[in-house]
Amino acid sequence: MLKRVSKKARRSRVFKRVFLSILIIFPFVMASLGFYIFMIIRELPDVHSLKDYRPSITTRIYGENDRVIDEFFLEDRRLIAIAKLPKYVTNAFVAAEDSRFFQHKGIDFQGMLRAFVKNLEHGAIVQGGSTITQQVAKSFYLSSERTMGRKFREIILAYRINKNLKKYEILNLYLNQIYLGHGTYGIEAASYCYFGKSAAELHLAEAAMLAGLPKAPSRYSPFVSMEKAAQRQAYVLTRMVEEGYITESQKEAASKARIRLNTSGPKGKVAPYFTENVRRYILSNYGSDILYKEGLEVYTTLNADLQRAANAAVDRGLRELEAREGYRATLKRIPKNRIDAFLKELDSQAGGKPFEKGQTAKAVVEDVSPEQKLVFLRLGTSLRAMAEMEEEQKQDRAEPAGARQPSITVRVGDVVNVKITEKNNQVEARYRVAIQPRNVVQAALVCMDARTGEIKAMVGGRDFSSSEFNRATQARRQPGSAFKPLIYTAAFDKGLTPATVMVDEPLSFPDPYRGEWRPQNADRKFGGPTSLRSAVIHSRNIITIKVLQQIGVDYAADYAANMGITSPITRNLSLALGTSGVTVQEMARAFGVLANEGRRVEPFFIRKIVDRTGNVFEHHEPKVEQVIDPKIAFLTTSILQEAVQRGTGYKAKIAGRPVAGKTGTTDDQKDAWFVGYTPSLVTAVWVGFDDSKPLGRGEMGGVAAAPIWAYFMEKALAGKPVENFEVPPGIVVTRIDPKTGRPAGLLSDGVNEFFLEGTGPGNQHKNESSGFWGSFRQEP
């Protein structure tokens, strides 16, 4: 018979087995845990390196007046020493993030418990348990993963940091490292972003608002929601009172203080195509680490005022062109039941950031007033905008008779591109915008100091945010008749004169592709005997071809290269019609030789580059070389002045200002050009579509490009002394018969013409080269 075991005995037996198992397993568990802790501690970095804090800091690009025009960074950070900050700035962050910072040793178990209780009371996370020291440890050494191992590392590192660094050193690291929204790192960058000033200038209300951001920068950003930002600010001020940093009256005053946000919001860019040139140059010459981490100070040649004038001139000229041609605006139409969903998509694309002035964005038409005078739009679920169609048509400059008015029309539900023109605090529209046409015609502009080569303004396209392709430096487009002055300058250096007469008549050449090439003038007419001066002024193609035949294609091509055309040059008679692709910057450089009395300059955009220690990486000075005779340059300039006064470039006239320039148009109006200059500034303008679609009937260089040039140069020259093109020694004036180029008789209608001394009509040397350029020309 089996003996029955009591329940008590069974329990005792089980307990003994469990106890023995624990005794056996426990040493192994402790050994494993100890080994794990040992490995973690051994792998932790040395915190002594924090004493030599060298963060990635922003590279700043400065314009001509040494004001910042752009910045490049991996992290938008500006360093500021904690000693420069008002005491209430650091106290605001301590009160909000780690009230026992000055008492604990890097880890605050009391604070963790308090945060747990507070969060339990509110039913949400209103306080964090990490100390400022722990946040520094995590920021510098750890990932953001949420694991027990990472937390354990954070605690050990925080203890070590507290042991090796003074409290003010830890705060200095924290305030320069912390992320505060809209791409800004550190309190100095954030202060400039939100308030447009240094953190050293913050008042208490602003400091409290910034101190409220670390918890959730995107949620509490005043750019996104001033209401939520103010709520968080109130919390920070309350904590400062509780910790004894400020009084109740100071809190009340700060709560009522008006917050003036930076009107530009997150940074706008005045010259994105120009500064992208700078970025690429530094990247290719010094590498990405130097560019994005070493905080270079790059001093450029850009004049911010001229750049703004260039931006405005291009925008105005293109809008006028689009008005004449009636380009459509609507991208697509959204059914009413889909508009809300589409607006949420727009919110997602914007990423919670406010729109900048000049930025292009998509919008949905919400309402249209009678006669399309006002259009109300939505940029997102809570962002409204208004476009005043009549206001967009107003111009500062009188329009020619019969000018067509904008025919852009929209309906409710239309999706359109808009350009932000200004913020509007009125309830009905947060932004004022300009509706953009669907067919995006492009333009490029380069303004260069003719004497030094400094690039003063550059527009590379309609909208950098839509296309970073720089049409001023990267696009090779046919210049059309804008190339002719280079050929005629070569001809004058070969012995021809402005008074030389050739017959404007039909020409025919064998063509292997078309069988026969019959070039035409733009008006399809022939003018008979024509002086070279008249041929340039009225842009006669036939005469230019004859000139090119006489001086030789290779001679003309080499001459153009000597004047600054670096693109490969077409070496056949079509060169006379400007069929060889060039960049806008090259054309500015070549015409600059004419403006600068035969001296060629090297275009440059960087004056000097300095690193964070003050070491100068490189320094640029103007490179000037005399490449053609000043007298030859003057002959062409005298003609180009007349081309503006009574020729194809008449729309580039500026009252009271001597200017010279030439229009250019290619077949079917695919490209429109105007390149012009004064003695000190040369500016080239191109207009066209990227895919070389025709601009429209009648959109010649004098109509599409010359007005942009004039709009810009009027602003660029405003308030500057009037400059005249000086007649150089060795130029003589002779009265001639313009129909024959011979000396005017007593009874004939004569005109004054410029000649090189010794080459006037009837002189035996009139067909000989002046010989000047020959000494500079490099024969193959």
- What are the pLDDT digits (tens) for 183-208? 888 999 999 999 989 999 999 999 99
Stretch among 46-50, 115-119, 393-397, 680-684 having the lowest mean pLDDT? 393-397
User: How many residues belong to the chain?
Assistant: 780
Residue 706: the pLDDT is: 97
Output the CA–CA distances (angstroms, integers) from residue 779 to 488, 547, 554, 555, 558, in the order listed: 20, 21, 10, 10, 9
Number of H helices, E strands in the chain: 23, 26
Task: State residue 490's pLDDT score.
Answer: 98
Residue-wise DSSP of 433-489: EEEEPSS--EEEEEEEETTT-BEEEEE-SS-TTT----TTTT--B--GGGGHHHHHH
Does the pLDDT at position 399 exceed 50? no
216 or 400: whose pLDDT is higher? Answer: 216
| Cβ-proximal residues to 276 (8 Å cutoff; 6+ apart), any chain | 460, 464, 468, 470
Instruction: Evaluate if residue 121 carries a pLDDT over 70.
Output: no
| Alpha carbon of residue 754 to chain centroid | 44
More confident residue, 260 or 323: 260
3-state class of 514 per DSSP?
Answer: coil
CB of 649 closer than 8 Å to CB of 661: yes
Alpha helices by DSSP H, 567-629: 584-595
Sign of the dihedral through C-alpha 302, 303, 304, 309: negative
Both tokens of 493, joined, read 């250096």
pLDDT at position 128, please? 54
Active site positions, annotated: 97, 481
Instruction: Indicate whether 456 pLDDT > 60.
Output: yes
* CB neighbour class for 112 (10 Å; exposed up to 12, middle 13-18, buried from 19): middle
Is the separation of the CB atoms in 480 and 701 below 8 Å? yes
pLDDT of residue 115: 64
pLDDT for 561: 97
Radius of gyration for the chain, computed over Cα atoms and rounded to the nearest angstrom: 36
> What is the DSSP code (8-state) at residue 182?
T
**397 pLDDT higher than 50:** no
- What architecture (CATH level 2) is domain 85-256? Orthogonal Bundle (1.10)
Q: At residue 259, does pLDDT exceed 60?
A: yes
What global pTM score does this model have? 0.76
CB neighbour class for 403 (10 Å; exposed up to 12, middle 13-18, buried from 19): exposed
Q: How confident is the model at residue 398 (pLDDT cuts 50, 70, 90)?
A: very low
In the chain, CATH 1.10.3810.10 sits at 85-256
Res 71: pLDDT = 87
CATH architecture classification, 328-394+407-438 = Beta Barrel (2.40)
Q: What is the pLDDT of residue 775?
A: 35
Of 208-217, 390-399, 476-485, 624-633, give the lowest mean pLDDT range.
390-399
Asked whether the predicted pLDDT for residue 174 surpasses 70, the reply is yes
DSSP 3-state helix, strand, coil percentages of the chain (rounded to 5)? 40, 20, 40
Q: Give start-end residues of each CATH 2.40.50.140 domain in the chain.
A: 328-394+407-438
Return the structure tokens found at 368. 């249209």
691, 702, 573, 717: which is closest to 647 by C-alpha? 702
CATH 3.40.710.10 placement within the chain: 444-492+503-606+617-717
Distance (Å, whole) CA 344 – CA 672: 41
Q: What is the pLDDT of residue 773?
A: 44
**Confidence class for position 770, pLDDT limits 50, 70, 90:** very low
**Lowest mean pLDDT: which of 240-254, 376-390, 702-716?**
376-390
* pLDDT score for 133: 82
pLDDT (0 to 100) of residue 220: 92
Residue 268: which residues within 8 A CB-CB, separation 6 or more? 356, 357, 358, 359
Collapse the DSSP code of 413 into the 3-class scheme (helix H, G, I; strand E, B; otherwise coil) and give the result. Answer: coil
Class for the domain spanning 444-492+503-606+617-717: alpha beta
Q: What is the pLDDT of residue 669?
A: 92
Among 49-58, 214-223, 457-466, 652-661, top mean pLDDT goes to 652-661
CA distance 68 to 65: 9
Three-state secondary-structure class, residue 176: helix
pLDDT single digits (tens) 556-596: 999 999 999 999 999 999 999 999 999 999 999 999 999 99
- Beta bridge mates, 484: none
